[in-house]
Amino acid sequence: MPVFYFYVVDNITVEMIERELKEVTDYVSSSLGNLFLLANSTKSDVVLAKKLDLPSSIRDSTYYLEIVYDLEDGIAQYVEAILQDSSGVRADSLILPGPKVDPGNTTVVEVSEKPVVANCVRENSGIYVWLEVEE
């Protein structure tokens, strides 16, 4: 087989993995956005959580989810998924503008067999989102 064939197959595989990661980040950012909108629709302090229905692995590889945020003002920017076996394979999706990230909460989770939960809290100081692995 020509070497070119293997190069093309590798590129197609990476593209398929990136599409799967993109679906995951779209779903997570949409879930965080929905939680933010619900929390923003009330004047009361509220804590919301949603158990996410995520694949435990992508192409037999573990992956990480991260809420990337502005370090100066704490505003959440986007959700990024990174394949553990290859940090160059990643995807991201923008988060609805508005929610903040409390650096004290989890911003990076390893997706595995345990469920991942998207969380949102409305406090006097703002609306905060984070991810956590359910124990």
Give the pLDDT score at 2: 64
CA nearest to 105, candidates 79, 77, 133: 133
Quote the domain boundaries for residue 102.
3-133
Q: What's the whole-model pTM score?
A: 0.88
N residues, the chain? 135
Strand ranges for 4-96 from DSSP E = 46-52, 63-69, 76-83, 90-94
User: What's the pLDDT tens digit per position in 82-119?
Assistant: 998 877 889 999 999 999 998 888 889 999 889 999 99
User: What's the pLDDT tens digit per position in 45-57?
Assistant: 999 999 999 999 8
Supply angle C-alpha 80, 49, 111, rounded to 5. Answer: 40
Enumerate helices (H) and strands (E) in the chain, giving the number of each. Answer: 1, 7
Domains held by the chain: number: 1
